[in-house]
Amino acid sequence: MAVTAPHPGPAPRPRACPAPIIGGVTITNGHTVPLAPPRVHAARGRLRDEPVAGAKKVLLAAPRGYCAGVDRAVVAVEKALEQYGEPVYVRKQIVHNVHVVSTLEQRGAVFVDDVAEVPRGAHVVFSAHGVSPAVVAGAAERDLHAIDATCPLVTKVHREATRFARADRTIILIGHAGHEEVEGTMGHAPERTILVNGPEDVAALEVPDPDNLVWLSQTTLSVDETMETVRLLRERFPSIENPPSDDICYATQNRQVAVKKVAPAADLVIVVGSANSSNSVRLVEVALEHGAKAAHRVDYADEIRQDWLEGVRTVGVTSGASVPEELVTEVLEQLADAGYGTVEEVVTAHEDLMFSLPKELRTDASGNPTRALGGRRS
């Protein structure tokens, strides 16, 4: 996104360049993603209560929604706006959710694709997905006040990549090409890392030394697909080593486990999350793989289609790790209009993890210590 105004302190926030967009902003993540305007409640009364054989109900998966890393990143932008005033620039989407991003844009955040678009001396927040050392260096060259909101679990993978590269190991990174997290991780060891998108890539994989390999993974992948990729890697390269600890984050695993529990009993599973959210898209796939008769992803409740509910007695509902609970509440309200007013929560784990905010945000504008944890909305 182009920025057309300097940053002289209290000057008005710059405007985005014109584009065919919704809601006044455009964010890119390898491609342009239109952002819908933020809404507290979706349009009501659109779904009809059609009769089906048996009682209608909702199985609500738990855990769902915000994880501690997402909450930390969102709080970081909110506190940066409070502490420094607008505009605060954010490189890429702070998290992959159109509602969250557009809401922050309305509050004064300016989302850019590259630090080169940020005026010299301004404040910039790095997204939860992490950045490469080259991005950090680029921000320093522009004298930017950088606030690193990278999820600590992603930072762990970065440190592993750096350590293995220093030991002259070849790193097989399991992840999706073009995803911001993958680009950031590969940037920590670009000459030592080979990307594998999934099981289908293993047969053609060429490595310099089959006895000097270690695998790492993107944190938001399907657990089952990742383990299948690892199994195939082991068949070809028996000496490949595991990372010191599991790279797929606790929240991704927990949400997939919950969906696996809900899916066999569901005629339909609705996943709340954005199209560029890897973990949200994986939840749809996991639901279908584990017995759901149908599964769909929506950003907002008013995207639910009447024909999805034809003959459906049980609807499973969950949300990706970057989705605020208010959007799930909208979905439950829409389903209640269609007769699915009975809600049973299916709990497979309890989460109480919290992460410290970036050090720049652990005081208020006057320098006094303030709340320094992310995770309040998980």
Reported as a single tens digit per residue, the pLDDT across 157-171 is: 999 999 999 999 999
Q: Which two tokens stand for residue 249?
A: 């984050």
Q: In this predicted model, what pLDDT tens digit does every residue of 87-131 receive, in sequence order?
A: 999 999 999 999 999 999 999 999 999 999 999 999 999 999 999
This prediction has a pTM of: 0.85
What distance in Å separates the CA atoms of residue 219 and residue 30, rounded to the nearest whole number? Answer: 19
Active site residues: 181
Q: Are the beta carbons of 266 and 315 closer than 8 angstroms?
A: yes
Residue 38: is its pLDDT beyond 80?
Answer: no
Rounded mean pLDDT, 251-267: 97
pLDDT confidence of residue 164: 98
Cβ atoms of 359 and 365 within 8 Å: the answer is: no
* pLDDT given at position 46: 80
3-state secondary structure the chain: CCECCCCCCCCCCCCECCCCCCCCCEEECCCEEECCCCCCCCCCCCCCCCCCCCCCEEEEEECCCCCHHHHHHHHHHHHHHHHHCCCEEEECCCCCCHHHHHHHHHHCEEEECCHHHCCCCCEEEECCCCCCHHHHHHHHHCCCEEEECCCHHHHHHHHHHHHHHHCCCEEEEECCCCCHHHHHHHCCCCCCEEEECCHHHCCCCCCCCCCCEEEEECCCCCHHHHHHHHHHHHHHCCCCECCCCCCCCHHHHHHHHHHHHHHHHCCEEEEECCCCCHHHHHHHHHHHHCCCCCEEEECCHHHCCHHHHCCCCEEEEEECCCCCHHHHHHHHHHHHHCCCCCEEEEECCCCCCCEECCHHHCECCCCCECCCEECCCC
CA distance 147 to 129: 13
pLDDT (tens digit per residue) in 203-241: 999 999 999 999 999 999 999 999 999 999 999 999 999
Q: Which pLDDT value is given to residue 362?
A: 85
What confidence score (pLDDT) does residue 182 get? 97
CA torsion sign, 251 to 30 to 145 to 118? Answer: negative
Rounded Cα distance, 321 and 147, in Å: 22
- Other Cβ atoms closer than 10 A to 141: 11
